[in-house]
Structure 1
């Protein structure tokens, strides 16, 4: 009876309401065991009273509070009991636990269930009142599991709190931590020394191999990418080993001391869980990885077959409708890209980790990058397709695009490269090529010929037949001009003071135009000087004293002939 009263006083300190609950429970549990079997069937008649108290004085709180003792979470309160919030319940429990630890009281942690809850005790002292409303329904918690976890966690926290007050145990833990720290420091020093030794070993082995091969330029070897890759690989392995040593030492040291033991256990559990998850992920991903490799292997074989066929089309050994030899290579690249894209789409569900949130996040990020940054890129690609498949310009053609003139070196997906007459490598975006006016001088250069003009202006006092003959003779003397089609001279316009003559010639090679025109202009000057024809456009301030006309006797001045040359009537 004395024990019952002392326990009731302790419960009254926690909450007055639960005193009646606890007394009722003790009274029921203290009944003599020598009762008739029929009497126990009538005992539940007293249970409605505690249940009524529970429903009246226990309600769900708005904000939960977690009881943490000696750095270990014990239980989370979610109910308001007799007007006391979860925070106040936590403060009361901590006060009792601190008093027990200060007094050095020890005892077994136990639980005494009653209708609607349980009382957690340490020895003869009540500490925690746990109710059914403290459970997290969304997490699927059950009362028995939460009660058992609370008892176990409280027992462990009290044991560690008692251990923290034992100087001998703390001294032993500090000694073990110092030894672990010394060993970790030595291991890190050894790994740093090993990294230097491994790097020097790579250099020595490479130099010996080069010496045996008879190569004297060892400086080139030291700067080679292979040696740098070996060094970086060794550095990465040793840095990973350093991290493992630091992690293991920190875990061991934290677990030596009672207050930090939970952190050490968390680090150890995290590492073991991570390794376990990685191992399980690798094992579970083997079938999917095998499927991915099989898909890629099949697509690679198909890509090789496609490459062989398009190579045959490019060499003229095979023919295909709408595919020309000059478009075979870009078409092959396009088909290859589509095949690999199809392979990635098919293999995506089988890739290990494809269903994880991280993988999905990366996919969304890449999608956003493509969406916001692909407008200009798609424009360039579509322009490249237009240039390629319309065959507007071909590789090797001499073209003029806007103000740029030169030989087409490459028609790429995004840009077109042109080699100018001054050996300049000019890159023009495909969208600019499509938007500009393009002149191709090579498309008909080998067949019908492309006429290139050059002009002179001569006064009206020079016989036009003579001027025409001089221009044709200059073209005949100039190397690099085609004989067929023949050069043509046109009187382009009759101006106020002069006649504009245009000489149309066909070049053998468009790429040599500057040099051919240099020679042509030199021959024109020489011939006009030789025959006394002035290349000048006269301008007048006053009317001339005599009409500026050609006398009839001079109409066929040398080198003109009485019959006009055939070139004078030829159409370009």
Structure 2
């Protein structure tokens, strides 16, 4: 209950302070008064003088100046110092007095410089009054305005004609060039859209030139007459001010832009130097543990990206507009988008780098990744493509490869080639020597399987009902037969060989224990095509 009265008192005090500040600002603005003579600002009074407010001082000075101008005498403007301030004399009359309080505190001026500037403005007002009262000079000004209007109309007509001619010529040229830019029978550019955009661009350019020309014409016409000359000068000053600001911005940005360009050129030089070093290391030590031939392009790309990012970070403060709020907001937006949407991309890229630098896969090797099997045809930063022997091409994400068991059939072979293997399960009543001999015979009959190194058979398991035989052989990758075709031919030959020797390929299972034991007698150990060892 105590906090509410305190809060209410604080709010009331804040409102009163705001109102008081607004009242002071209004009083300050009311206390200032600008002396204007013949549509030209002479001086701004900012303080009282001998009890007279700024508005009264401006009104009295205007009356004195107009009275002196109406006399038509030759008026000399002088500035005389006095203890009260700077006296601005118009002939023998005192036009006004400038005190030290009338100086603008933001410009750090004194009363003397303010008086000199006011005297110059008053001199111009006097000259423009005399010009207005001279019919001959007014006729010359009117003639100049009419002549300028005629020239502007002629220039506007020329701009229209030049735009029409340029549009016709450029449209014909662009249409001919666009028709010639083709890939096969497909044009690269849409002629209608290109011509429409070019026509609109020329129209906007012509309108811009016409608007600038009319702006200059208006400024010239207003400056030709005494009463409107100050308006024309303001128009010229506004345009020149914009042009000056643009030029100052361009000139001011040149040194920083030069530094940024120098940083980027130095980065380009470092990238070229690093590429040469990698090339020399590869030639000197092609089997270096951390730098192999297939990792050189990726290493060069990573080094280039790292150098460019470092160069961009160094050159960022020197880029034009880098310190503006719009540029900072755009940088924050891009960072937020990358942080929210690039997690999976970064994961895929990291997995690609792991595969590249660990040498898990190489282009041309025959591998099995999970349930997918084929020859590696391309390894990218985000995906890996393998081609199966069945006419399929699979694109696998690198993150899936790093998280799966990979079986490489090409890495463990002697020389070029890949491994071909298959598993059969035959009952215990068939001699294992005969099974091994038949499997090796089937491998020898299969085109593409090498004789050296010779095929081998391994008994990988002794299960309850049958032993497991695994045939392992090496095939030649240069043969125009994919592994799937070689494996299919091998299976067909295994069936033919087993059928020839009267052995059925079947994995026995029993519902009950058989009466006869499933044994191989000694005399049957070397059934054809098994060969007994030579007796010494």
Mark yes or no: TM-score above 0.5: yes
Task: Report the equivalent of 2:232.
Answer: 261
Task: Report the equivalent of 2:15.
Answer: none
Task: Report the equivalent of 2:528.
Answer: 559
Say if 1:71 and 1:262, in contact at 8 Å, map to a contact too: no
Shift of 1:265: 0.9
- Closer, same or farther: CA 534–143 of 1 in aligned 2, 3 Å: farther
- Partner deviation per Cα, 1:299-326 (whole Å, 9 max, x = no partner): 8777667655644554569898954433
Work out whether 1:273 is the aligned partner of 2:241: no
Give the match's secondary structure for 1:358: coil
**Aligned runs of 1:61-72 on 2, under 5 Å?**
62=25, 65=29
Work out whether 1:420 is the aligned partner of 2:387: yes
Aligned mates of 2:347, 2:302 — CA distance in 1: 16
Task: Report the equivalent of 1:12.
Answer: none
Work out whether 1:249 is the aligned partner of 2:217: no
Give the match's secondary structure for 1:514: helix
Give the match's secondary structure for 1:418: strand
Aligned mates of 1:304, 1:415 — CA distance in 2: 26
Aligned mates of 1:462, 1:90 — CA distance in 2: 127
Give the match's secondary structure for 1:187: helix
Task: Report the equivalent of 1:522.
Answer: 492
Shift of 1:396: 3.4
Say if 2:416 and 2:476, in contact at 8 Å, map to a contact too: no
- Closer, same or farther: CA 442–468 of 1 in aligned 2, 3 Å: closer
TM-score of the two chains, using structure 1 as the length reference: 0.59
Aligned mates of 1:333, 1:142 — CA distance in 2: 65
Task: Report the equivalent of 2:169.
Answer: 197
Say if 2:428 and 2:520, in contact at 8 Å, map to a contact too: no
Give the match's secondary structure for 2:294: helix
**Aligned runs of 1:178-193 on 2, under 5 Å?**
180=152, 183-193=155-165
Can you give the 5+ residue segments of structure 2 that lack an aligned partner in the other structure? Answer: 1-22, 223-227
**Aligned runs of 1:309-458 on 2, under 5 Å?**
310-311=278-279, 314=282, 323-333=291-301, 358-361=321-324, 373=338, 376=343, 386-401=354-369, 405-411=373-379, 414-421=381-388, 422=391, 424=393, 426=395, 428-429=397-398, 434-447=402-415, 451-458=419-426
- Partner deviation per Cα, 1:421-451 (whole Å, 9 max, x = no partner): 246373645x665555444333333449865
**Over aligned residue pairs, what C-alpha RMSD do you find?**
6.1
Aligned mates of 1:313, 1:469 — CA distance in 2: 50
144-153 or 154-163, larger mean C-alpha shift: 154-163
- Closer, same or farther: CA 356–488 of 1 in aligned 2, 3 Å: closer
Question: Aligned to 1:508, which of 469, 472, 476?
Answer: 476
Shift of 1:499: 4.5
Aligned residues: 477
TM-score of the two chains, using structure 2 as the length reference: 0.62
Shift of 1:477: 1.8
Aligned mates of 2:160, 2:62 — CA distance in 1: 43
Aligned mates of 2:160, 2:60 — CA distance in 1: 45
Say if 1:313 and 1:324, in contact at 8 Å, map to a contact too: no
Aligned mates of 1:427, 1:72 — CA distance in 2: 79
Aligned mates of 2:130, 2:533 — CA distance in 1: 126
Aligned mates of 2:206, 2:94 — CA distance in 1: 50
- Closer, same or farther: CA 197–550 of 1 in aligned 2, 3 Å: same
- Partner deviation per Cα, 1:38-72 (whole Å, 9 max, x = no partner): xxxxxxxxxxxxxxxxxxxxxx9546548687998
Say if 2:428 and 2:519, in contact at 8 Å, map to a contact too: yes
Say if 2:368 and 2:374, in contact at 8 Å, map to a contact too: yes
Give the match's secondary structure for 1:543: coil
Can you give the 5+ residue segments of structure 1 that lack an aligned partner in the other structure? Answer: 1-59, 208-216, 566-572
- Closer, same or farther: CA 444–218 of 1 in aligned 2, 3 Å: same
Say if 2:259 and 2:318, in contact at 8 Å, map to a contact too: no
- Partner deviation per Cα, 1:103-158 (whole Å, 9 max, x = no partner): x9799898887656668899999998865445443543333334444555677789
Aligned mates of 2:308, 2:270 — CA distance in 1: 10
461-470 or 356-365, larger mean C-alpha shift: 356-365
Shift of 1:173: 5.0
- Closer, same or farther: CA 323–161 of 1 in aligned 2, 3 Å: farther
Aligned mates of 1:394, 1:71 — CA distance in 2: 85
Aligned mates of 2:405, 2:392 — CA distance in 1: 22
Aligned mates of 2:434, 2:25 — CA distance in 1: 111
Aligned mates of 1:455, 1:370 — CA distance in 2: 55
